[in-house]
Structure 1
């Protein structure tokens, strides 16, 4: 299965979304683009095998809700929350937008990483970005393989 063109995903969705959030950097852009490739091959909108993960970034509704409840809903994050709210279509639930709204789903993936305490790896460090994804997005119990996913982050870097 082939997905979206990686260069277009990176330059037309990821970079402008992260810029709108005020959270863009070369490392963040490569991390979020690589995450879409590692999680769904930038092709699948529902988790293969029937799990709860949604959208290109395969975010679970519980993770989405946690980003709001334990981070975005706090006054200190009101600017980020406002930007995320403005990205949403008014006729769909927030979790439905993880599937249908690339910009919002991308923003939520970046928010998930933004909450991590460790600094981002170098923008050109595919192995470091893959390990960061595994540690802070997929978790130790998830199925992501940091070693196998290095190729996806290298693809994102090259795009």
Structure 2
């Protein structure tokens, strides 16, 4: 039987990318980074941000330009740079584990779209560096609230209901 859902299979994204990446990032300097709640939060983030399809932010039906955000997790280059400068720059062991996921080519920002493992690591670290606690596993509304506060921010146009809807349509039926 083949996968008939929309876009990338969330089961495959979880099994082949998110869980292995979070296990790779785990260490005494990153307690809880690989929690089940983090896996769910990343699946929901990818579902909402890209529909588990788009590798580039689509701002309108006629959008033909690249950016401003890239990859399944829709990470902006300035967020990516800030994470390296102001978070990983002070955590050399964790930075080394993240750097091990990068390839020599293409550039780091492009790898947010082309390198699923690296993008998942960066997305997880966006949440990890925040003092906002993760919701409990299975609490999709709680994950939506964390996504809004940390990832989309109060200035963002996204709404928690949209996150929950994306989870319900794109993740839950296929997980």
Q: Among 46, 56, 63, which residue is 2:56 paired with?
A: 46
Structure 2, unpaired ranges of 5+: 27-32, 60-64
- State how far apart, in whole Å, the 2-side matches of 1:157 and 1:116 are: 26
Matched with 1:65 is 81
Structure 1, unpaired ranges of 5+: none
TM value normalised by structure 2: 0.84
Q: Does 1:93 align with 2:97?
A: no
Q: Which runs of 4+ in 1 moved over 6 A?
A: none
Q: Among 149, 159, 163, which residue is 1:135 paired with?
A: 149
Matched with 1:31 is 41
Task: Give CA-to-partner distance per residue, 1:18-57, whole Å, 9 cap, x none.
Answer: 1110121110010011100010011000100244000000
- State how far apart, in whole Å, the 2-side matches of 1:26 and 1:99 are: 24
Please report the RMSD computed on the Cα atoms of aligned residues, expressed in angstroms: 1.6
CA contact (8 A) 2:14 2:43 kept: yes
Matched with 1:102 is 116
CA contact (8 A) 1:20 1:83 kept: yes
CA contact (8 A) 1:44 1:55 kept: yes
- State how far apart, in whole Å, the 2-side matches of 1:21 and 1:152 are: 27
- State how far apart, in whole Å, the 2-side matches of 1:152 and 1:25 are: 21
Q: Give 1:2 deviation, angstroms.
A: 2.6
TM value normalised by structure 1: 0.93
CA contact (8 A) 2:83 2:126 kept: yes
- State how far apart, in whole Å, the 1-side matches of 2:171 and 2:19 are: 12
